[in-house]
Copies of this chain bind each other. A is one copy, B any other.
Amino acid sequence: MPKIKVGVLGATGAVGQRFAQLLVDHPYFDLTVLAASERSEGKSYRAATNWILTEPMPAHLAGLEVQPMSTELDCALLFSALPTQSAGEWESRFAAAGYAVFSNAGAHRMDDDVALLIPEVNPDHLNLLAHQQANRGWDRGFIVTNPNCTAIPLTMALTPLHRQFTVEAVIATSMQAVSGAGYPGVPSLDAIDNVIPFVAESEEIKVNIETNKMLGRSNGRQVEPAGIAISAHCNRVPVTDGHVVTASVRFKDKPSLGDILQAWQTWQPLPQELGLPLAPNPALVIREEPNRPQPRLDRDAGRGMATSVGRLRPCEVLDVRFVVLAHNTIRGAAGGSVLNAELMHAQGLLDNFKEEVDTHVPA
């Protein structure tokens, strides 16, 4: 089966590196283009990149020349690890030029006609695509986004519960890894022996509005938010990878702890049913130990794609509380975006990008 030629935008940064690492030997996609800002132009990927992952740089990519940003890139699908400020315009230009754009940036997440997608959570939101293309006058290209790295584990844990018991309110406190800030990101003097009770200007708002969009209903033109009151306290802790979130939750229907456990255990999301390459199985790893999940021990579950939950117990103020964790640069960023593309591929929504293996003439 021919693979689709794909590229990574912002390939030299922290999330760009994750895309590169996760796309090695991918059954659907053939990574052929690494694009970055002018600073890297003409350099090999090895020379242009301060590689920060513990997995070594894929050998076949090291010698590839980094491409400048342009709509002449020789591929059909793009994974965007661009910084939010430049992502807005560039991603639109690429989509207009006929590329399928899977973005990890924040720029288009809350656009009415853009799906903010977790394949386990809201695959039906892809029904926004036709409207997006009509709305923007794009014939083949489109933009699909994935959410904030803290919203992801929280939403994963809430989804089966919201479907059955209707979540009304959530108070969440995150303890976020420094890799979430990219590289160089958080100065070590701020991280060592410290907690910073602040992540970024809009971080706490994102957890609120993105979670509500994902758990909301799409009518094919826009999404009606779920209407859950969500209060997020976001903190940075001296951890390399893995965001931990404590959550207190109130439900409309008052499930017992057993009901919640069962909802988690019996959840059968679509990517796992489809057997998508990066889909972890189970999607939710339920830890029964009193002191789990922990970033060091649980972030790599399901090759970094699983979400771990634990410490389910009653809440004295709302109804229940628990702890949830996911790897922020795999499930919470690049891996989530690749899974989005895998879902669309499995559903046949990328079929008209496949010819691109042989000849690429976007726009």
Query: Which residues of A does B touch, CB under 8 Å?
Result: 14, 51-56, 169-171, 173, 175, 178-179, 183-198, 208, 229-231, 233, 235, 237-240, 244, 246, 248, 250, 290-297, 300-301, 310-311, 315-318, 321, 323
- Please tell me which one of the listed residues B198, B208, B296, B317 contacts residue A231 in the complex, with CB atoms under 8 A apart: B317
Decide if B192 touches A238 in the complex (CB within 8 Å): yes
Q: Which B residues are CB-close (under 8 A) to A189? A: 14, 52, 178-179, 183-186, 240
Decide if B184 touches A54 in the complex (CB within 8 Å): no
In Å, the complex CA distance between A239 and B55 comes to 18
- Please tell me which one of the listed residues B235, B240, B244, B317 contacts residue A171 in the complex, with CB atoms under 8 A apart: B317
Q: Which B residues are CB-close (under 8 A) to A54? A: 296-297, 300
Q: Which B residues are CB-close (under 8 A) to A186? A: 187-189
Decide if B194 touches A296 in the complex (CB within 8 Å): yes
- 11 A-B pairs within 8 Å (CB atoms) are namely A52-B190, A54-B297, A170-B317, A173-B173, A175-B237, A183-B187, A184-B189, A187-B187, A192-B192, A197-B310, A235-B246
Q: Which B residues are CB-close (under 8 A) to A195? A: 175, 237, 239, 244, 294-295
Decide if B317 touches A229 in the complex (CB within 8 Å): yes
Q: Which B residues are CB-close (under 8 A) to A198? A: 290-291, 311
Decide if B193 touches A192 in the complex (CB within 8 Å): yes
A-B residue pairs, 7 tightest by C-beta = A173-B173, A188-B191, A184-B187, A198-B291, A233-B246, A194-B296, A231-B316
In Å, the complex CA distance between A54 and B233 comes to 24
Q: Which B residues are CB-close (under 8 A) to A14? A: 189
Assuming the contacts A190-B188, A240-B192, asked whether A233 and B323 have C-beta atoms less than 8 A apart, the reply is: yes
Q: Which B residues are CB-close (under 8 A) to A291? A: 196-198
A15 → chain B closest CB, angstroms:
13
